[in-house]
Structure 1
């Protein structure tokens, strides 16, 4: 009896003998034992063998198990093996977690530039504020330039590093820096309004002078026009963002923000195990509990009314699917005193935790 030999040449480092053998078991049983650590190699093997059902099973398992440590590899696998849902899920996960989670870990170093660009351009991107997003992106650049390090640098170390560059031109104007320009054009630098944060922009020698001049000019014109953001034309891509990561440990969350002498409280309240409300309200510097540090630079608007265009959004992950809640863009005149000082309330019903709540707004001409 002749022995038949089947030869299959596969040039893919992810297809190991163990992963390939596991995939072949799919010919005999639909109950192939898999762990999350196995899925990358088995996915590659299933693609080579054109086992569509196993490919889908691996993809579903990877979507459920997305973490900071694997999101980059899973995204690249989704693109390479044409499993669109996996690549899309990895991107969506990173849109929510780039700043609060990945940006605090060495895994940030592995985020591909093209994926990072997609995330930065996404209207769903979550950030605590515009400066926090800037710090995350600066840290990504630092890790690209120092690719051998395996521990996260301190914020001060990163600033010192960029300050050490030659002063004749900014980092983005140098040969290597030009390749990152598209990433930094996604930032909303006009949303960086705190004095100490603006000082960082000026002193790290990262941005071209023209960029810094544009930021300073936008602030000057806004202050001169009573807070009106005359430079902002597109709400979707230019609104100033503030975020709240409402974790299961919270019953309430409150944060005071100041923009051009106007003060707002952004607030989240847990009403029950699955019910939440989010809103913002205008505050006076004389209100009880108002932090004096917000007025330390002396910019306080005396305008009784402030026209605001805003949107409140919240997202939560439930069974590998993102639930989204939003008010939609609203234009409202904020005054002092209830009810005119309070925004529309966003009601959220979800079992997902945490909740990523975003407050976006601009001050239109009024």
Structure 2
């Protein structure tokens, strides 16, 4: 780096790297390193009064190749050899982490990891994750993954920083059973935005959704985007999506319109939908709740006391609901509603089939997650199977009751219709 710093012996030994360099320098001066260390230890002993002796300066050199290390960051790391109270500024934390790694200074390294865990945001997720992978820091890797599982759709998916999410990380998160999304279609939109931003690097703001659709639709129709040379590298990302959970006719029309997916996959999805509709909602094509369930989500904050959404799948309509009972008490449940219910929004039943089945067997799980003091709290009903009828006594699911001071709370309603 071309800079010089003066360090004292006692502080130098907090760093594994500097200790090795110092001992090596002593050996080069025909000095017995062990005797020198014994002298140092005696001098540090409170039982003995060290004799004053002339200070002998020894020059040691450390070559640094890590581009994350800056002069300011390295100086901060060296200062930390003298005191645990050294302030690490967030703009320097990556460089200080890299410096601590080079110096083999575990206390400072852990301090940086803790700061970074608390500082994960849309603008830092990429650099923090890549640094965590570079230095094999599993705690930080996990923290980045968990943060993105919750915030991919509701937060970073609406910002230009979505472009910075590494594909490897995105695929991990999309496969996670803890992933939060408002719906499977919202997750598809987010991934389409991500691809769009990878291909349009000059954009500085998120475009409207119609612009994204028009972009993909602009390619020649003879070949779907994911089968083009340009799109093949993105194929693993879209293998992680649960496209079978997109059942609204308008959303399916959008998927066909953009000519994005291989035709065989679209045909298979539509054929499965048709079979399920013919069979009263039975989902022959899905079995495993943790990896194949259709997911809907509610984002709970401190603004309201009641949160509710109406959803429809294969002619069955449900209300997913969250209720705040006090400062930290919440309950969540889902309830089947009649298609003729006056509270059912037009957007839910418009162009939607209606099932006349009195009962519908449902396998489901309600899950809530929130961040409290840097740790994620998770609550769940676990997997339940229940017949949902249209009368009050059979229309409501099990209620998930939780106590948490976390804000926001990410609530997922995951379900499928078993063959019945």
| Interval of TM-score (by shorter of Structure 1 and Structure 2) | over 0.9
Q: C-alpha distance in 2, partners of 1:117/1:161? A: 23
What's the counterpart of residue 297 of structure 2? Answer: 243
The partner residue of 1:20 within 62, 69, 74 is: 74
Distance 1:292 1:64 in 2: 42
- In structure 1, what is the equivalent of residue 95 of structure 2? 41
Instruction: Say which one has the larger Rg.
Output: 2
Tell me how far 1:43 sits from its aligned partner.
0.5
The answer (yes or no) to whether the contact 2:249–2:352 under 8 Å persists in 1 is no
Report the Cα offset of residue 24 of structure 1.
0.6
Q: TM-score with structure 2 length normalisation?
A: 0.86
**1:128 and 2:172 correspond:** no
Structure 1 CA distance for aligned equivalents of residues 325 and 235 of structure 2: 44
Task: Tell me the CA shift for residue 339 of structure 1.
Answer: 1.9
Distance 1:99 1:286 in 2: 32
The DSSP-based 3-state class of the residue aligned with 1:265 is: strand
Q: Say which SS state the counterpart of residue 173 (structure 2) adopts.
A: helix
- Measured in 2, the distance between the counterparts of 1:210 and 1:10 equals 53
SS of the residue corresponding to residue 175 of structure 1 reads: coil
Displacement of 1:195: 1.0
Q: Match of 2:386, SS?
A: strand
Counterparts of 1:207 and 1:2, CA distance in 2: 72
Question: What's the CA shift string for 1:295-350, capped at 9, x where partnerless?
Answer: 22151100000000000000000011000000011000000122210000001110
Aligned equivalent of 1:345: 399
Distance 1:293 1:110, change over 3 A: closer
**How far, CA to CA, are the matches of 1:120 and 1:168 in structure 2?**
29
- Are 2:274 and 1:226 aligned? no
Q: What is the CA distance between 1:209 and its match in structure 2?
A: 0.2
For residues 350 and 363 of structure 1, what CA distance do their matches in structure 2 show?
A: 31
Aligned to 1:254: 308
CA distance in 2, matches of 1:298, 1:138: 25
Q: Deviations over 1:156-207 (max 9, x none)?
A: 1111110111111111001131111111011111111111100001010110
How much does 1:289 deviate?
A: 1.5
1:38, CA displacement in angstroms? Answer: 1.9
Does 1:169 find its partner at 2:214? no
Q: Please show how residues 104-253 of structure 1 align to structure 2 within 5 Å.
A: 104-253=158-307
The answer to whether the 8 A contact 2:367-2:411 is kept is yes
| Number of residue pairs matched by the alignment | 366
Q: Does 1:265 align with 2:319?
A: yes
TM-score (norm 1): 0.98
1:136-163 CA-partner distances (Å, limit 9, x unpaired): 0000000111112211111111111101
SS in 2 for 1:149: coil
SS at match of 1:176: coil
Aligned with residue 321 of structure 1, among 362, 370, 375: 375
Q: Secondary structure at the match of 2:307?
A: strand
Distance 2:352 2:175 in 1: 35
Report SS of the residue matched to 1:179. Answer: helix
CA-based RMSD of the aligned residues comes to: 1.1
Deviation at 1:292, TM superposition (A): 3.0
Unaligned runs of 5+ in 2: 1-54
Q: CA deviation at 1:65?
A: 1.5
Where do 5+ consecutive residues of structure 1 fail to align?
A: none
C-alpha distance in 1 between matches for 2:351 and 2:83: 69
Secondary structure of the residue aligned to 1:245 is: strand
Residue number in structure 1 paired with 2:353? 299
**Which residue does 2:18 correspond to in 1?**
none
The offset of 1:2, in angstroms, is: 6.6
Distance 1:298 1:75, change over 3 A: closer
Give the CA deviation at 1:287: 2.2
Name the residue aligned to 2:119: 65
Between the aligned partners of 2:202 and 2:348, the Cα distance in structure 1 is 40
